[in-house]
Amino acid sequence: EVQLVQSGAEVKKPGESLKISCKSSGFSFSSYWIGWVRQMPGKGLEWMGIIYPGDSDTRYSPSFQGQVTISADKSISTAYLQWSSLKASDTAMYYCARRTRNYWYLDLWGRGTLVTVSS
């Protein structure tokens, strides 16, 4: 089955680090861009950035540049989103999604990982 399976919900304290994952199956992971989208509680969708696992080419939205790191391990078909020092404002649902072959829209989504940052 073609799918993206995301890691489970996380509860962290401010200042802690975190790495969440998105594992693909059913398609050639190295040949598709994988993006990350944030959804803060009760809010809309925000495009964070995207990576091409084939060569690790990564693009960030200016709003998220320097705030998070996107990476991928093509040997295990998994993309990652990580923070070095979480803030309460990072509390959100994070979705990974696959870009189509030729255009920058997202045709396959993971179910999301809820990250809660609270002291």
104 lies in the binding site for other proteins (CB under 8 A): yes
User: How many CB atoms sit inside 10 A of residue 107's CB?
Assistant: 12
Note whether 22 and 42 are within 8 A (CB): no
27 lies in the binding site for other proteins (CB under 8 A): no
Of the candidate spans 7-15, 20-28, 82-90, 94-102, the one that interacts with other proteins by CB under 8 A turns out to be: 94-102
Of the candidate spans 16-24, 72-80, 82-90, 96-104, the one that interacts with other proteins by CB under 8 A turns out to be: 96-104
17-39 in b/e burial notation, b at 16+ Cβ within 10 A?
ebebbbbbeeeebeebbbbbbbe
Can you give the binding site for other proteins, defined by CB under 8 A?
37, 44-47, 59, 61-63, 95, 97, 100, 103-107, 109-112
